[in-house]
Each structure stands twice: as C-alpha cells, then as structure tokens.
Amino acid sequence: MHLSRRGLLYGSAGAAAVSLAGCGAGEDSAQLTGFTGISMPTDTSERWVIEGKALEANLKELGYDVIHQNAKGVVEDQIAQIQSMVGEGVEFLVIGAIDNTSLGQVLADAKDNGVTVIAYDRLILETPDVDYYASFDNYQVGVLQATHIIERLGMRDEPGPFNIELFSGDLGDNNSQYFFLGGLDTLESFIYEGKVVIPSGQTEQEPTATAGWSGDVAQARMAELLAEYYDDEDTELHAVLSPYDGISRGVVAALVEADFEPGRGGFPVVTGQDAEAASIKAIKDGTGQTETVFKDTRQLAHTVTGMVKAIVDGGDPEVNDLGTYDNGFKFVPSLLLEPVDVTADNYVEVIVESEYLTEEQIDAGEA
Ligand code: BGC
C-alpha cells in the first residue's frame, strides 16, 4: 500500500494552483482542439452513468469533440474502447478504470500519441503514463462513515462493547484501500480499548472485499457472517461499516432476511457512499442504512472539464495535492474534492436543495 496520506495536501479544492510544467500537453497546446475520450467503468452504479453524461455535456459546451463509452465492468472492453479512442485521435483521455493495473499498455500507446491522461475518480496504477488525478478525499470518506457509527452508537459515552463488521470495495479499485483505511483508523482506538469488537475477526482488506462492488456479493457475505458469528442470542450486531450504497443495500437485504427489522431499535447502523436515490430513500424513511457519503460528482465533472480546458488554453490544470497518490511510478498530481456526510437530518439541504436529486426521485428510489 502506498499511503503517505496527508503528504502534501494543499487544503480544499480551490486552493492555490500548483505549477506543473511538463506534465500536461506541453508546447503543442496551441494546436489542441479539446478532442476527448471518456471511458467509464460500469453502469450498475448510478454515479458513473450520470457523470459520463455530465462530462460529455460540459466538454461539448466548450465546443470540444467527445467520444464517450462505458465498458460495463468488462476490463477487456475498456482496453479496446480506449485503444479505439486513441486510434480516432483523441488528445485527452478521461478514464474511470475498472481495474487499476490493467491499462499500462494501452496508456503507453496513448502517450506515444501525445494524449494527456486524466485518471477519473480512481487512480490508475503501475504506469508512468497518467498525468493527473481528479477525485475526492477518499480517506476522508472512510473517516466520515466510521464517525457516523461512533456517533450513532454513542460510543464515546457508552461502555459497549459494540460488535461491528467491516465491508470493503473491489480489490481492483485503488479507492477501496483508502475508504477502508480511513474507516479503520477512525475505529482503531475503540478497537484497542476493547469497545469495538469484530466477531468475525475479518479486519483485513482482502477478506472484507466485495468483488465488483456488487450488492449481491455483499448480501451473500453478510448472510454468511450472520449465520457463522451471530447465531447465538447473545451476540448482537451493532453496526456494519459499508463503503458504498449498493453494498449497503445488499447488507440490509441480508439483515432483513435474517429477521432484523429496519427502523426498529436493534437494527444495526449501516453506512454508505454515493447518495444513490434508493439509499437516500432508506435514510429518509428509516428503512435501512442511516448514512451515506455524498460526493458531488457534478463538481468532479466540472473540475475535469476545467483541467482539459486549462491545457487546451496553453496553461496548467489546477491541482491541490502532490503527495498522497503514489501510483507505483510517481505521485500523480491530484485535485481532491471534499466528501460530505449525509443523514436524515441534512439530506434535504445537501441533496435536494443542491438539486442533486429531487424528492420525487428519492421517493421513487431512482435517479
Ligand atoms: C468510487 C465510489 C463508488 C465505487 C463503486 C469507487 O471507485 O470512488 O464513489 O461507490 O467506486 O462504484
């Protein structure tokens, strides 16, 4: 793991731009037209579909040509799609990788063709050919999730012990380790104190991982954990640290199947991420998870559009972090945005009033 986390964090987005001569498209920028290839990783998680469209619209508004494809979870398709974008002559690639180590060769080809590569939300590893990274403070996502559990269970005042189970994301996604570590670091002192117990003993990233970020995979693992570690009346489950709303809904489904009643005392605290409509509905109605982490992906799309524009205009994109995201070759200059904790208390202000989702979309459970 390369986690020199707070290395050179320059504060929030919008902080001083850092000059990065040589990292962008360089001297040829005068001839650039902004032609961009967008490669999104999956359509099973709402955010990538919404963001792909937003990015495309933002770039087109600037008069840039765009090729936009979604590889729907198939690594080989993503490689082929990127390869064909390079063949079409894109000047920029904006990539949300499915698997963080599978793009080395195709990015080497892109580099040979002078393409500027922006890793979108997920860092691409083990290649020198990534120029920029735009994402959120992924470690902070885990901190917010764990803090929700601590506060919701009153852990600072109550004696406990509290039984918690941990879920992490797909192992091929670099973000997973940051979410997980942020959560674990935040729970660490309670674990040492003995206030937090993890009855399964599964505290490492690998056994807690959820392939493909799949809700079904999470549901199956939760069902197994319940059967194996919580089948006697005395072992209560107090909380589940879940990194993503789709996983959270799978966890809740397993709990319901095991006769836990959402909304009643005794239903475990379940966290999440991405402010998906179905999860906000559960948070609002008190029928499942109680928290999600909102990452304003409109802002991310806007940020990345700004990066492309800066290079087209002959300048350097703004970044605010040079020392956190080591991809195995280098610390990739990054622009990190701030994630926001969302509960029933603030979803109206954060999600509805910002026009991310309407109450109707939330009630329908669909974005
Ligand atoms: C993203 C999360 C998302 C997850 C599953 C991660 O890379 O950062 O926002 O929940 O992928 O799509």
> Can you tell me which atom of ligand 1 is nearest the CA of 295?
9
Q: Residue 318 in contact with residue 310, Cβ under 8 Å? A: yes
CA dihedral 226→227→232→236, nearest 10 degrees, is 0
> Can you tell me which atom of ligand 1 is nearest the CA of 121?
8
Supply the DSSP symbol for 9. B
Q: Is 91 left (phi over 0), alpha (psi -120 to 50) or beta?
A: alpha
Distance CA 293, CA 154 (A): 20
> Can you tell me which atom of ligand 1 is nearest the CA of 243?
10
> Can you tell me which atom of ligand 1 is nearest the CA of 273?
10
Distance CA 65, CA 59 (A): 8
How much is the pLDDT for 5?
Answer: 36
C-alpha closest to that of 138 among 172, 169, 106: 169
How much is the pLDDT for 46?
Answer: 82
Distance CA 65, CA 264 (A): 52
Q: Residue 248 in contact with residue 210, Cβ under 8 Å? A: no
- Residue 33: CB atoms within 10 A of its CB come to 11
Separation of 59 CA from ligand 1 center, angstroms?
23
The encoded tokens of residue 138 equal 């992924």
How far is CA 53 from each of CA 38, 68, 70, 134, 136, rounded to the nearest angstrom? Answer: 10, 8, 10, 17, 19
Cis omega before residue 128 (within 30°)?
A: no
Pocket test for ligand 1, best of 175, 217, 334 (most atoms within 8 A of CB): 175
Separation of 29 CA from ligand 1 center, angstroms?
32
Q: Which residues line ligand 1 (CB under 6 A)?
A: 45, 47, 121-122, 169, 173, 175, 213, 244, 273-274, 295
Residue 61 makes CB contacts below 8 A (sequence gap 6+) with none
How much is the pLDDT for 266?
Answer: 85
How much is the pLDDT for 18?
Answer: 39
Which segments in the chain show pLDDT lower than 50?
Answer: 1-29
Cis omega before residue 333 (within 30°)?
A: no
Q: Residue 67 in contact with residue 11, Cβ under 8 Å? A: no
How much is the pLDDT for 367?
Answer: 77
The encoded tokens of residue 209 equal 């991982």
Separation of 34 CA from ligand 1 center, angstroms?
27
Separation of 244 CA from ligand 1 center, angstroms?
7
Separation of 177 CA from ligand 1 center, angstroms?
12
